[in-house]
Structures are given as C-alpha cells and as structure tokens.
A = this chain, B = another copy of it.
Amino acid sequence: MERIPVLKIGDTLLVSIQTDLHDQMVLALQEDLADRIAATGARGVLIDISGLEIVDSFAGRMLAAIAGISKILDAETVVVGMRPAVAITLVELGLSLNGIKTALDVERGLRLLS
C-alpha cells in the first residue's frame, strides 16, 4: 500500500498530502505520524495541502483527527498551503476547520511552531 512520507525537519514533522486519501491511507498516515512523534519527540506537525484541489468534509475530519492525535502526543499541528479556492469552498460548505491552526505556507508554519 502507498504510504505518505513523514519528513523530519528539526523538531517538526512535515507531511505533504498530494492526492485524495482513502480510508486505509488515512489510517496508515495517522499511525505513521503517531509513531514518528513518539519516536522523535517532535513538537510540531506541518500538513501541507497545496497539492489538494479539493478539501471535502472527509478531508476536514482527517485533518482534525491528525491534529487531535498530535495534541495528545504533545505536538501542535498546523495546516499549510491551502489554495485560495479551497478556502472559499470550505466556507461555502460551512466547514470552518475549527480547532485546526493554519498558515499560508511551510515557512510561516515553521515560524508559527518555533
């Protein structure tokens, strides 16, 4: 099965999501990420979604779940790289990504976490 790479940069783990994830991939990603947080003691998680053209309620719940898991493991999650059109669609759909921190790009996300 295809797995999304989890990259370590200093105290932060970076995940670049480039395709719509199905259930199994989401579960694998959550597991990999939790393992890596525990193994590395990372304090921040950056999820880059600049490769996603659509963020629906399933993806929104996935992001919220990742943020929730990370928080329990004492790491903060920031979602970065959201396309302007995605932000517009999310608000139109009434999905406000409550409780998920966002930043414009990876650099600003890293600054937010440091």
Interface residues of A (CB under 8 A from B): 2-5, 7-10, 14, 16, 18-19, 48, 50-51, 81, 105-107, 110
Contacts and interface: CB of A to CB of B under 8 A. Distances in A.
Number of copies: 2
Given A2-B51, A5-B81, 15 more contacts: A2-B18, A2-B19, A3-B51, A4-B18, A5-B16, A7-B16, A8-B105, A8-B107, A9-B9, A9-B106, A9-B107, A9-B110, A10-B107, A16-B16, A18-B18
Nearest to A18: B18
Nearest to A9: B106
A105 B51 CA distance: 22
A99 B4 CA distance: 28
Contacts of A5: 16, 18, 48, 50-51, 81
